[in-house]
Amino acid sequence: MTDSPITAHPLSAAWLALGRRLAAAGGALAALVSLFFEAPVWVASLRGALAWIAVRVLVRLCAHALLASIGPPEPPATPKTKP
């Protein structure tokens, strides 16, 4: 596998990676808390899925706002050669 250049802003890529982990943890926590309060399993899993979706949407919106505020990344400088 070859390395490909990162096309996204590094801060945005890091934020989205953190958001994926937070969404998974938030969804699992919501389902677990629902089970602690004796909700049926299907209700607990539905609440966990809704929490996962909500966190993912919130993180994506924040990432878009971040990119809109800082602008696109600058292209890497290429060395100039003499003709």
- Does 58 fall in a domain? yes
- Does 47 fall in a domain? yes
- Does 39 fall in a domain? yes
Report the predicted TM-score, pTM, of the whole model to 2 decimal places.
0.74
Q: Is the CB of residue 52 less than 8 Å from the CB of residue 27? A: yes
Tokens of 67: 């990119």
List Cα–Cα distances, 1 to 14, 17, 51, in angstroms: 22, 21, 35
- Does 1 fall in a domain? no
Enclosing domain of residue 22: 10-70
Average pLDDT (3-18) is 76
Average pLDDT (21-31) is 96
- Does 50 fall in a domain? yes
30-81, pLDDT tens digit by residue? 999 999 999 999 999 999 999 999 999 999 999 888 888 877 656 666 777 6
**Does residue 8 register a pLDDT over 90?**
no
Lowest-confidence range among 4-8, 12-16, 21-25?
Answer: 4-8
Q: Is the CB of residue 23 less than 8 Å from the CB of residue 31? A: no
Furthest-apart CA pair in the chain: how many Å? 76
- Does 42 fall in a domain? yes
Structural domains of the chain, count? 1
- Does 76 fall in a domain? no
